Structure 1
Amino acid sequence: MTQWTKAELARRKDGGSESMRAIEKDILPVLGEVALVDLKRAMVVDVLDKVVERGARVMANHLFSDLRQFFNYAVARDWVEAHPLAGLTKEKIGGREKARERYLSEEEIIELKQRLPAANLLHTTELAIWIMLSTCCRVGELSQSRWEHLDLDQGSWFIPGSNTKNAKDHNVFLSDFAKAQFLALKTLTGDSAWCLPARDDQGHVCLKSITKQIKDRVRDEPLSNRTKATGALLLSGGAWTPHDLRRTGATMMGELGVIGEVIERCLNHVEQNKLKRIYQRHELKAEQRDAWRRLGDRLALLLAAEGQENVVVGRFAKRA
């Protein structure tokens, strides 16, 4: 497995660290001493079934994908004669993974503001929530951001490809609302190179920190040695994650009249149509700037609307 790790996993964006963490946790303790040629399908599937039994279906599917790639690598080098997972699909392991559709209604955004004081979050995390919502960025992109990549005078945020999911550079035009959140954050962490520094300031905050803080506050039962503010951020529409904020921002843009192509650019999605990707190079920067402005203005209005009757708050309809 070491050779496969160096040849294949090392080429992944995270160097394969997440995959190896899961393999070391669930696979190696059970099968690590079994010779490769002695591995049978039932042995591997049994381990994956136990991951499913503890409720980690998505993790089981990720492990299945990694193991299938490993055995393809092994078969190609004659380490084994047959692929023990040949013919199996994710549907037969963890089941088909449904795309999340959760987003926050405008009422829930106001509710979120009302609930935050009791959640006992780090103030930097509170600001991160509003930044993610108003910029539609991913939590990892914000967690790894540096102050040198922000121009708060011009209202722009450069996210290098090394921090994005698709390895493509991304420019965010900051609305007045988003800029205000970053300015508030800078008063707290401006002495660091990182917008969200680790406690020792030797790097950025852990990529899972914000997600864990929020998850702890939307779960039903508290975990030992974790916050007692269980349920403090559980909204009327149910549990939510940082990535749902990105979906919420994009949905709001659509409700505010922004066309789909512009929203896709704001999300830094790659055009799926190859011909369009090759020949349509117009970046729609002005349209993106306007989209973020509309989103920021609406959020500012909503968060100032508490107790006011002259602001109409509506639930978003699901888009086809």
Structure 2
Amino acid sequence: MVERGARVMANHLFGDLRQFFNFALAREWVDAHPLAGLTKEKIGGRQKERERYLSEDEIIDLKQRLPSANLLHTTELSIWIMISTCCRVGELSQARWADLDLDKGEWSIPAGNSKNAKDHTIYLSGFARAQFLALKTLTGDSDWCLPARDGLGHVCLKSITKQIKDRMRDEPLSNRTKAAGALLLSGGAWTPHDLRRTGATMMGELGVIGEVIERCLNHVEQNKLKRIYQRHELKAEQRDAWRRLGDRLALLLATEEQENVIIGRFAKTA
């Protein structure tokens, strides 16, 4: 992997193998850890943190580009769900309709579907709820919000990412979509995870404090003392944060229908 330039993938494989051998060593299935002493820096090198997020102009452009991208309608709706809820693509791919209470506007992500193995509740904005309602008209007969083609389980965890990546390429791959480059925006290529970062960034620009944004992202508090003693979940604040984000997205996506509306821009901070 390193020789062919896939250094990030090499680091992911190294992490999986290290976890596997730690498991085996603890059960005395192996006599020694073959990866002892190795670090990611020695495998694929230190990974640069991604900073990509979509600007508001790009969000408007994205809506205009989607019709020509020839995506599944469920994937189009998934894009707006991910940006308006700040969820991970895997959390949405594994979501069941039983996890959602659309009357109350709540999405309960079970611990088994979240990256940090902790339950998480997303309080749906009017915008996000509308996306889920539209999705339910398409897949409501299934247990899954995004069912697989055979209907026996949820969609492949890589399906949405692959669909989007195919529409960033310079040239289409064989037997794949011909809509190469259809979703390439002015800021460059983007991924489903960048939509999560975009939603969080917009929350900050809308005046939501960092601690609330971290709760909305279901991040674990890094300060141990705060984790132990500050148990307040900031539910009302999270609900308001998602509402602000949803209202802003709804306004941005309504601009082409309302040509007399001028969208105010946030001032850039130093």
* Short-chain TM bin: over 0.9
Answer yes or no: is 1:155 the counterpart of 2:94: no
Quick check: which has more Rg, 1 or 2?
A: 1
CA apart distance, 1:154:
1.1
Unaligned runs of 5+ in 1: 1-50
Task: Name the counterpart of 1:179.
Answer: 129
* AA of the residue aligned to 1:234: L
Task: Name the counterpart of 1:191.
Answer: 141
Retained in 1: the 8 A contact 2:252–2:263? no
CA apart distance, 1:317:
4.5
SS in 2 for 1:52: coil
Answer yes or no: is 1:95 the counterpart of 2:56: no
Distance change (3 Å), C-alpha of 1:148 and 1:189: same
CA apart distance, 1:79:
5.3
- C-alpha distance in 2 between matches for 1:65 and 1:129: 29
Give 4+ residue runs of structure 1 displaced > 6 Å after superposition. Answer: none
**TM-score relative to the length of structure 1:** 0.78
Task: Name the counterpart of 1:248.
Answer: 198
- C-alpha distance in 2 between matches for 1:285 and 1:257: 16
SS in 1 for 2:2: helix
CA apart distance, 1:66:
4.0
Distance change (3 Å), C-alpha of 1:86 and 1:221: same
Identity of aligned residues (%): 81
* AA of the residue aligned to 1:131: I
Note the aligned Cα RMSD (angstroms).
Answer: 2.2
Higher relative contact order (CA 8 A, sep 6+): 2
Retained in 2: the 8 A contact 1:61–1:90? yes
Distance change (3 Å), C-alpha of 1:276 and 1:201: same
- C-alpha distance in 2 between matches for 1:143 and 1:164: 11
Retained in 2: the 8 A contact 1:107–1:313? no
Distance change (3 Å), C-alpha of 1:93 and 1:265: same
- C-alpha distance in 1 between matches for 2:109 and 2:20: 32
- C-alpha distance in 2 between matches for 1:265 and 1:277: 12
Alignment of 1:81-230 (within 5 A): 85-230=35-180
Distance change (3 Å), C-alpha of 1:316 and 1:109: farther
Q: Going by fraction, where is helix more abundant, 1 or 2?
A: 1
- C-alpha distance in 1 between matches for 2:177 and 2:119: 36
CA apart distance, 1:77:
4.8
Q: For this pair of structures, how many residues does the alignment match?
A: 268
